[in-house]
Amino acid sequence: MRCIVKRRAQFSASHRYWLPELSEAENERLFGANARFPGHGHNYVLYVSLVGELDEYGMVTNLSEVKKIIHREVVSQLDYSYLNDTWPEFQQTLPTTEYIAKVIWQRLIPYLPLVDIQLYEHPQLWANYQGKDMEATLTIGTHFSAAHRLALPELTLEENTKIYGKCARPNGHGHNYHLEVSVTGQIHPRTGMVVDLVTLHKIVAEYVVEPLDHTFLNKDIPYFTQVVPTAENIAIYIAKILRDPIAQLGVELTRVKLIESPNNSCEIDCRQLFSQQQETISISDSLVLV
């Protein structure tokens, strides 16, 4: 039986986004505050995912040995370092989150059966790398607050309550929604970036956060006058409105995750969603509900 196991590690390091061939103004335009001298630091959290068959001891691999390898090849070298000067790979390509994840993969793959490297720069920004040349996935997190009511207009309150429970109450209720947006593309060989991170944040803010924040979704957003604003439908709506603006950045929108509360969330596989030709999408095929 094949299983995937995951090992966590962490290290603290600093870095700076700066290309000497560009002027100060060009670096600031491209990298924003990340270009400031002498750099800035993060508490990085690393998840190393391994795949394999279960052995006679019920393990994919000995995680004690995995811990030693990760420490020897990664943590001991990067912890409390200035990344730009630490590994030769960062002399040519800046140590962005996505590129660090790629290099960590390259350092570990001779020793471990890797399936995914996930590196958190902070809780609202992380990257995944899965050994596909220069392809990586970058995820940003944000939030908005909104109210909604779950009810079908053609049904009575009693009928809606049977379907939606308390969420059908006439005056609605609110949530602090947490949103994760994942994009996939090619790591630039010089900047180390999959996408212009500043512009990506602006697009998500402009198209999602500002229009939805502090609204009553059923009344303030025309789409939800006809569609019940469940977490699933909100996530589909967000994916649809972000698809084209994000594509214009040269990357693909691959995942939207909406966390309605600590107990409820849904995740959209955007590639599967957009492969559907019909406007009506099969929720069972496109969503992961938690």
126 and 3 both lie in a single domain: yes
Instruction: Give the per-residue pLDDT at 15.
Output: 97
pLDDT at 85: 96
Alpha helices in 2-96 (DSSP H): 24-31, 63-70, 76-78, 83-86, 89-92
Using omega within 30 degrees of 0 as the cis cutoff, is the peptide bond preceding 38 cis? yes
23, 73: one domain: yes
CA dist., res. 18 & res. 2, Å (int): 43
What's residue 60's pLDDT? 87
Distance from C-alpha of 140 to C-alpha of 120, rounded to nearest angstrom: 10
pLDDT level of residue 277 (50, 70, 90 thresholds) = very low
The string of pLDDT tens digits covering residues 151-172 is 999 999 999 999 999 999 999 9
Instruction: Name the catalytic one among 40, 122, 173, 214.
Output: 214
Is 188 in contact with 232 (CB distance < 8 Å)? no
Of the candidates 50, 41, 104, 47, the residue with the CA atom closest to the CA atom of residue 76: 104
pLDDT score at 122: 95
Same domain? For 222 and 118 the reply is no
Q: Are strands 2-15 and 81-82 parallel, antiparallel or unpaired?
A: parallel
Say if residue 121 is in the same domain as residue 71.
yes
Closest CA relative to residue 173, chosen from 193, 153, 150: 150
Task: Write down the residue that tokens 């986004």 correspond to.
Answer: 17
Q: For residue 249, give every residue at least 6 positions away whose Cβ sits within 8 Å of its Cβ, in sequence order, or none.
A: 183, 195, 196, 199, 200, 203
By residue range, what is the domain housing residue 246? 132-290
Average pLDDT score over residue span 123-137: 98
Boundary-marking domain end, from 80, 101, 131: 131
Could you say which of 131, 156, 187 is where a domain stops? 131
Residue 17 scores a pLDDT above 80: yes
| pLDDT band, very low/low/confident/very high, at 280 (cuts 50, 70, 90) | very low
pLDDT of the residue at 148:
98
Q: How many domains does the chain have?
A: 2
Share of the chain above pLDDT 90, in %: 90
pLDDT computed for residue 20 by the predictor: 94
Identify the pLDDT of residue 94. Answer: 98
pLDDT band at 57 (very low <50, low <70, confident <90, very high): confident
Among 81, 109, 131, the domain boundary falls at 131
What does the mean pLDDT of the chain come to? 94
Q: Within this chain, do residues 98 and 137 fall inside the same structural domain, yes or no?
A: no
Quick check: 56 pLDDT over 60? yes
- 106 touches 133 (CB < 8 A): no
Percent of residues, the chain, with pLDDT higher than 70: 95
Active-site residue identified among 98, 260, 266, 267: 260
Residues in the chain: 290
Cα 151 from Cα 181, distance rounded (Å):
27
Q: Which residue has the higher pLDDT, 106 or 58?
A: 106
Give residue-wise pLDDT tens across range 194-225: 999 999 999 999 999 999 999 999 999 999 99
Residue 283 has pLDDT above 80, yes or no: no
70-128 pLDDT, tens digit each: 999 999 999 999 999 999 999 999 999 999 999 999 999 999 999 999 999 999 999 99
* Predicted local distance difference test score (pLDDT) of residue 278: 47
Provide the CATH number for the domain around residue 146.
3.30.479.10
Among residues 84, 70, 64, 71, the alpha carbon closest in space to that of 13 is found at 84
Q: Do 151 and 218 reside in the same domain of the chain?
A: yes
Q: Is 260 among the catalytic positions?
A: yes
Cα angle 263-268-272, degrees, rounded to a multiple of 5 = 155
pLDDT at 55 over 50: yes
Q: How far apart are CA 181 and CA 204, in angstroms?
A: 8
Provide the pLDDT confidence category of residue 274 given band limits of 50, 70 and 90.
very high
Q: Are residues 142 and 233 in the same domain?
A: yes
Task: Please identify which of the residues 28, 71, 167, 252 carries the catalytic annotation.
Answer: 167
Instruction: Give yes or no for residue 284 having a pLDDT over 70.
Output: no
What integer pLDDT is reported at residue 276 of this predicted model?
74
Q: Are residues 96 and 208 in the same domain?
A: no
Helix axes 231-247, 197-204, angle to 10 degrees: 140
Per DSSP, 109 falls in state T
The model scores a pTM over 0.85: yes
pLDDT of residue 2: 87
Listed residue (127, 137, 136, 107) closest to 46, CA to CA: 127
